Amino acid sequence: MSAPYYDEMRAADGSIRPHYRPFADWIDRVPSARIAQKREEAERLFHRVGITFAVYGDDDGTERLIPFDLVPRIIPADEWQRLEAGLVQRAHALNLFLHDVYHDQAILRAGVVPAGHVLGNAQFRREMIGVDVPGRVYAHIAGIDVVRGGGGEYCVLEDNLRVPSGVSYMMENRKITMRLFPELFATQSIRPIQHYPNALLEHLHAVAPAGREHPTVAVLTPGARNAAYFEHAFLAQQMGVELVEGQDLFVQNETVYMRTTRGPQRVHVLYRRVDDDFLDPLAFRPDSMLGVPGLFAAYRAGRVTLANAIGTGVADDKSMYPYVPDMIRFYLSEEPLLANVPTLVLSRKDELAQALARLDELVVKEVHGAGGYGMLIGPLATAAEREAFRERIRAAPERYVAQPTLALSTCPTFAEAGLAPRHIDLRPYVLSGKGTNLVPGGLTRVALREGSLVVNSSQGGGTKDTWVLAPDEAC
Amino acid sequence: MLSRHANELYWIARHIERTENTARLLDVTYRTSLLPYHPGEPGLAWAAPWSVPLITSGLASAYYQRYSVLTAENALRFMILDPSNTSSIYACLRAARESARAVRGAITSEMYEDLNSAWIEMRDTDYERIQARGVSDFLDWVKMRSHLFRGVTFGTMLRDEAYHFIRLGTHMERADNTARILDTKYHILLPSLADVGGAVDYYQWASLLQSLSGFEAYRKIYKDVISPRRIAELLILRDDMPRSLHSCMNLIYDTLQLLCDEQSREIERMAGEMHARLHYGRTDDVMSFGLHEYLTDFLERISQLGNEVSRTFLVPA
């Protein structure tokens, strides 16, 4: 029986796909002892550089490594061109949607997206109605998770428009593979991604409050105990801007300042990695210790730009996901270049009935869940688990969506007994501000356990470097 | 730069410098403790060598809260490994690494890697392992880590404010530590009258010099027997001796001139006054004022300067 999965390296007949040929030759040629040595070296490098990921609520052994797998995920030039166009289109439409729902709400009036789904959503921020943000950009950084189905077609699994993370792993993974396989980089054209921080800074400059030629940008972090702190520090350093915490900032006359050794200094753009709820105790959660009192008032007054904007969560919620293709048609009058995973919206009666009839084939997700928690994977669940979930769905069908079990593509990965296929996904980072674009690549996450489809790092996932090949030069 | 970052950088440097001075002090004490001593007779060492590092660091009472008797093992555990002693080598490396983590954006990645790997090695060290590799070998490692940190800082860091705050921290701590170590002789090393000029006296002064990396310099400069007057000159007034008070104040004063502006004239004045006293001071004056009195006065002033630096730059209201 042939595997129902698309393998990135091998075609169905077992032959090596052309874009993997140089890598496959290399791995055949290099003795396994040397590869083992390279794996150890990678491990050591990661430890030394301190690319770790903090675990909440653990005072002592606070950090651990996200496992890194040496085998790159390689994307040929033509595939990337299609993917890139689809991602840019999607991010563009999502930004138009966000501007619309906080202004005219044309898409709700046209009945394309049910008004109740938007206005009744906990992520819809009433405070943002009528607020104009520079360039009408809301999701300056969009992490759009992409998977490949059994036929090799790319589709979008999820949009992350709040504070998507992981981009530092994309960059560190590249640094490590360049160090470990210089010969592979020398013999083929792998497109560089190391300019990401520079690109991000350009976009952030472009959305500064009007009339600012040399805006001061800062990265706002919840602090060293946050799981993604390494990344916050990394990006601040790479962009050459300050890494600030709430306690470093204060607001006076609707203007944001940081406390420096030379007195107060004005801040124009905050790349904030703090959730909406915690940004300003005066506007949102009053118990927030991470925020800056008065920040929202300064933001409303257009005196500071926040990236991403407040209230982007209304567009990346799983209840909104099924409507994104319609948003693309509505705002851009174009057909979506990247499909969604077919999704049943269980608040719709007929789709609920379909889902309940096929629970053993489907993955059911909570619309507000994240991180791989609170979901039912039908084919792997016991009959009792499915029955229990069935009751939960019946009680509140609007809280769930259902999707077919994804045939995530596989990529060879080092396992106990040598190379073996493991399931992967891809998170590219789409940047908006000065236009919309992305660096060629993203973070490939891999489910390290055999057969597992869960790639989240909190659930034992690892990462790989992602190589996008340059188009062949014309002869 | 952010005041909070300046504060962390300043303390990274102070903590690392402190580990080095603690290691020096412990190393000399350890080697001295191996010399024979016979109470009542002129000998080659003194009765309670392990009290020296405790008193010098101002940690004697904290030590006796934890241990009732003074032994080499307890003193080493307390000064090297005790997480509750905020000046232990363990606690200083942990604090330096925590600060580095908090200001990753303000230091180079090489500096972070250096502090991180030092901490990881320290975390995995216990008393048995120190014994197994040898106490002196471990203390050499601590000193080397401090040298490495300064070297990495010097070799990789942009000469910006962050760099200046690190240099300031290093030399504030070093000035304080040198003065304390010099003053040790007053506290505990006072020989009995019979010992003055004798072998005990020689070993005491020699170990003091060694703990300040001054033994070889002394030989080079004076080519003569060790005398307290010359030691005072070497470690207080000479500006070519990198651990001397004068040398430290040169760097502190120069650094503060780069950092100060209209709002911080008082700091500049305080540092300038301290610097002038060392720059124009004479050994005779130090000795007639009294070495202990001179050092006590210096420690008081450097502590006031530290407070003023904090108030102005690091933790503004």
3-state DSSP call for residue B67? coil
Measure the CA–CA gap between A56 and A52, rounded to whole angstroms: 13
Q: Which residue of chain B comes nearest to A219, CA vs CA?
A: B105
CB A193: neighbour CB atoms within 10 A? Answer: 22
Asked if residue A306 has pLDDT above 70, the reply is yes
Residue type, A24: A
Cβ contacts (< 8 Å) between B261 and chain A: which residues?
A: 262
Q: Is the ipTM of this complex over 0.85?
A: no
**For chain A, percent helix, then strand, then coil, each to nearest 5?**
35, 25, 40
Give me the phi and psi of B234, to 5 degrees please.
-60, -45
- Give pLDDT, residue B138: 97
Q: Which residue of chain A comes nearest to B111, CA vs CA?
A: A49
Measure the CA–CA gap between A440 and A410, rounded to whole angstroms: 20
Confidence of residue A144 (pLDDT cuts 50, 70, 90): very high
- Give pLDDT, residue A432: 98
Of the listed ranges A65-69, A406-410, A458-462, the least confidently predicted one is: A458-462
Read off the pLDDT of each residue in A50-71 and give the average, rounded to a whole number: 58
How many structural domains is chain B composed of? 1
Cβ contacts (< 8 Å) between B98 and chain A: which residues?
A: 224
Q: β-strands A154-160, A339-340: how paired?
A: parallel
Measure the CA–CA gap between A295 and A344, rounded to whole angstroms: 39
A48, A234, A259 ranked by CB distance to B2: nearest = A259
Read off the pLDDT of each residue in A217-232 and give the average, rounded to a whole number: 90
3-state DSSP call for residue A118? helix
- Give pLDDT, residue A57: 33
Chain A interface test: which of B2, B111, B166 (most A C-beta within 10 Å): B2
Q: Do A48 and B113 touch (CB under 8 A)?
A: yes
Q: Do A248 and B4 touch (CB under 8 A)?
A: yes
Average pLDDT over chain A, rounded to whole? 89
3-state DSSP call for residue B172? helix
- A30-40: per-residue pLDDT in tens? 888 888 888 88
- A9-34: per-residue pLDDT in tens? 999 999 999 999 999 999 899 888 88
One DSSP character per residue, A216-262 reads -EEEE-S-TTSTTHHHHHHHHHHHT-EEE-GGGEEEETTEEEEEEBT
- Give pLDDT, residue B223: 87
H helical segments located in B124-160? 127-133, 135-156
The backbone region for A242, taken as left when phi is positive above 0, alpha when psi lies in -120 to 50, beta otherwise, is beta
Cβ-contact A455, A423 below 8 angstroms: yes
Q: Do B116 and A50 touch (CB under 8 A)?
A: yes
Measure the CA–CA gap between A41 and A417, rounded to whole angstroms: 19
- Give pLDDT, residue A464: 94
Percent of all residues in chain A with a pLDDT value above 90, rounded to a whole number: 62
Per-residue CA distances from B44 to B31, B183, B205, B208, B219 (Å): 12, 21, 12, 14, 21
Question: Nearest CA to A242 among A272, A220, A268?
Answer: A220
- A251-296: per-residue pLDDT in tens? 999 999 999 998 899 999 999 999 999 999 998 988 888 899 999 9
Q: Do B105 and A224 touch (CB under 8 A)?
A: no
> Burial, A306: exposed, middle or buried (Cβ in 10 Å; 0-12, 13-18, 19+)?
buried
CB A172: neighbour CB atoms within 10 A? Answer: 21
Cβ contacts (< 8 Å) between B90 and chain A: which residues?
A: none
Cα of B252 to nearest chain A Cα, Å: 17
Residues sharing a CB contact under 8 Å with residue A84, sequence separation 6 or more, in sequence order: A438, A440
Cα of A222 to nearest chain B Cα, Å: 11
- Give pLDDT, residue A56: 37
- Give pLDDT, residue B42: 45
Q: Which residue of chain A comes nearest to B315, CA vs CA?
A: A261
Question: Nearest CA to A100 among A138, A144, A156?
Answer: A138
Q: What is the dihedral of CA B84, B88, B93, B97, to 10 degrees?
A: 30
Measure the CA–CA gap between B266 and A344, rounded to whole angstroms: 71
Range of the domain at B77: 3-314
Cβ contacts (< 8 Å) between A247 and chain B: which residues?
A: 4
Q: Do A224 and B112 touch (CB under 8 A)?
A: no
Residues sharing a CB contact under 8 Å with residue A395, sequence separation 6 or more, in sequence order: none
- Give pLDDT, residue A449: 85
Label residues A244-274 b or e (16+ Cβ within 10 Å = b).
bbbebbbbeeebbbbbbbeeebebbbbbbbb
- Give pLDDT, residue A55: 39
- A406-457: per-residue pLDDT in tens? 889 999 998 877 889 999 999 999 999 999 999 999 999 999 888 887 777 6
Measure the CA–CA gap between A446 and A223, rounded to whole angstroms: 28
User: Which residues on adjacent β-strands are paired with residue A426?
Assistant: A146, A444
Q: Which residue of chain B comes nearest to A49, CA vs CA?
A: B113
- Chain A residues 221-280 with a CB less than 8 Å from chain B: 223-224, 229-230, 233-234, 236-237, 241-245, 247-248, 258-263
Residues of chain B with pLDDT under 50: 41-45, 191
Read off the pLDDT of each residue in A131-159 and give the average, rounded to a whole number: 95
Cβ contacts (< 8 Å) between A168 and chain B: which residues?
A: none
